[in-house]
Amino acid sequence: MNESSYVECEDDYEEEEVAEVDFRKEGYRNDQLYCAHLMLKQAWNGNFGAPVNDLLSSNSDAKVLDFGCGSGYWTLEMATEYPSPKFYGINPVASFPGSVLPRNVEFIVSNVLTDTLPFKDAEFDYVFARNIMFTFHKPNFESIVMKEILRVLKPGGYIEFVEEEIIEGHNRGKALMHWNIDGLKVWLESQKIDYEIICRFKECLQSTNQLKDITEQKLKIPIGKSNGFIGELAAEYIMCTVKSMADNLMPIMNLTNEEYDHLVEEIEKEVKENEEEYNAYFHFRRYFAIKM
């Protein structure tokens, strides 16, 4: 299947939301973040959806912010591909590389929940944020994160969000469904994370009254090697996620270490060995818009 055929629809939209991060886990998440980075880049045929290629190309003096940059994979690739703009990655912990950067990259430790972003108003031409919704408690996303991102974005600048949908179903196997519904969702709720925010994100962006040309794109990613490289990456991404959530989910699911390990094995069988039987997939969405 051609990767671009995974893109199901386009529109407009907006959003709000989410919880808090366990900073101690940051180091465990690098593989998961890299899988997600590769998978999304492959599936969407590139690192971004907003029409910013011209803005970033040749002698550009644009400034780009990767909000919640994590390990910095997106920032580093974009800065290499587009050497003229200046790229900033901010994250509350220094999970990004400390040296050997492209010269047009600066990573900054900053926590938007405790301090305003360390930038002037209207400083950025393009602000990108990926997989950050499940990091913030419900009121904080709209009241703090969106507000700050919009503050540092120039009028005429682009904003872009890329997020995973977490909903029931997707023809997932029994073990993965159990993990998702009885584990992950219960944990997200216990953290007061609104995991359905992504489904209302278009309205959320609209409600800022500061954005126009809001575009929504949905991506269906099939899981398992029978779906090629993307399917393999998707399976690996799920396994990294399941493993990295062990400490959070074992008490919620009332499982011992051994029982959780067994669940991991069952999920691995579903997504790596018998994937054709389960025909599992998940959805990502991305949204981009222009600040008025």
Ligand X SMILES: C[S@@+](CC[C@H](N)C(=O)[O-])C[C@H]1O[C@@H](n2cnc3c(N)ncnc32)[C@H](O)[C@@H]1O
Q: Which is nearer to ligand X, 26 or 270 (CB)?
A: 26
Residue 85 sits in the site that holds ligand X (CB under 6 A): no
Residue 150 sits in the site that holds ligand X (CB under 6 A): no
Q: Which stretch binds ligand X (CB under 6 A): 48-56, 63-71, 79-87, 200-208?
A: 63-71
Residue 130 sits in the site that holds ligand X (CB under 6 A): yes
Residue 127 sits in the site that holds ligand X (CB under 6 A): no
Strand pairing report for 211-222 and 153-164: unpaired
DSSP per-residue string spanning 211-253: EEEEEEEEEEEE-SGGGHHHHHHHHHHHHHHHHHTHHHHHHHH
**Calpha distance 289→292 (Å, rounded):** 9
CB-based contact 113:138 (threshold 8 Å): no
The single residue among 113, 199, 246, 250 that binds ligand X, judged by CB under 6 A, is 113
Residue 241 sits in the site that holds ligand X (CB under 6 A): no
Residue 242 sits in the site that holds ligand X (CB under 6 A): no
Residue 69 sits in the site that holds ligand X (CB under 6 A): yes
| Residue 242: other Cβ atoms inside 10 A | 23
Q: Which stretch binds ligand X (CB under 6 A): 46-54, 85-93, 163-171, 232-240?
A: 85-93
Residue 181 sits in the site that holds ligand X (CB under 6 A): no
Residue 117 sits in the site that holds ligand X (CB under 6 A): no
**Calpha distance 14→199 (Å, rounded):** 9
**Calpha distance 279→170 (Å, rounded):** 8
Of 282, 252, 240, nearest to 178 by C-alpha is: 252
Residues 6 or more apart in contact with residue 286 via CB below 8 angstroms: 44, 49, 160, 161, 162, 163, 216, 217, 219
Q: Which stretch binds ligand X (CB under 6 A): 125-133, 185-193, 197-205, 224-232?
A: 125-133
Residue 228 sits in the site that holds ligand X (CB under 6 A): no
Residue 197 sits in the site that holds ligand X (CB under 6 A): no
The single residue among 18, 19, 21, 43 that binds ligand X, judged by CB under 6 A, is 21
**Tokens coding 193:** 């994370």
The single residue among 37, 63, 285, 286 that binds ligand X, judged by CB under 6 A, is 37
Q: Which stretch binds ligand X (CB under 6 A): 110-118, 167-175, 203-211, 246-254?
A: 110-118
Q: Which is nearer to ligand X, 188 or 255 (CB)?
A: 188
Residue 111 sits in the site that holds ligand X (CB under 6 A): yes
**Tokens coding 173:** 């196997």
For residue 88, the Cα-to-chain-centroid distance in whole angstroms is 17
Residue 64 sits in the site that holds ligand X (CB under 6 A): no
CB-based contact 28:210 (threshold 8 Å): no
Q: Which is nearer to ligand X, 70 or 157 (CB)?
A: 70
E strands, 19-131, where? Answer: 63-67, 86-91, 105-109, 124-130
CB-based contact 37:74 (threshold 8 Å): yes
The single residue among 13, 62, 76, 91 that binds ligand X, judged by CB under 6 A, is 91
Residue 76 sits in the site that holds ligand X (CB under 6 A): no
Which residue ranges make up the site for ligand X (CB under 6 A)? 21, 33, 37, 68-70, 73-74, 91-93, 95, 111-113, 130-132, 135
